[in-house]
Amino acid sequence: MVEYADYTFYTDTFHGSTIPEAAFSSVILRASVYVKYITFGRIEDTEIPEEVRLAACEVSEVMYKADAEGEQKEKKSETVGNVSVSYVTEQQDGQTREAAAAKKQYAAAYPYLIHTGLLYRGCR
């Protein structure tokens, strides 16, 4: 599997600063797999368009933030008598955490890929 961007592209072209270099390789690999999935494997590994690289960087930031938020949850409310704690979440009632994450990842990649034809779901 080809990583669609490297850390130099992330910092210089995308101007990202959220992901530290030590964690970037792991996150960009997962983001590249996701971008390849939503583009139905249409991206050739030899010549990767800049839009794909930018989308991978954006998705990697979403994934990194989701991983970090999983470790630090913000309390929405807390009851002391009979102990009840509620945490702030972005998912709707009945929606799984994975479905909410996939929705955010797709929304992050969409602006970069919409005019490339890579998101087209029909046959050519």
Distance, in Å, from the CA atom of 100 to the CA atom of 90, rounded to the nearest integer, reads 7
Assess contact for 104 and 59: CB atoms under 8 A. no
pLDDT at residue 116 greater than cutoff 80? yes
Give the pairing of strands 75-79 and 84-87: antiparallel
pLDDT at residue 113 greater than cutoff 90? yes
pLDDT at residue 84 greater than cutoff 90? no
Assess contact for 46 and 15: CB atoms under 8 A. no
Assess contact for 37 and 4: CB atoms under 8 A. no
What is the per-residue pLDDT across 7-54, written as a single tens digit (0 to 9) for each? 999 999 999 999 999 999 999 999 999 999 999 999 987 889 999 999
Determine the pLDDT at residue 26: 94
| High-pLDDT (> 70) share of the chain, % | 80
| Tokens read off for 107 | 């929304």
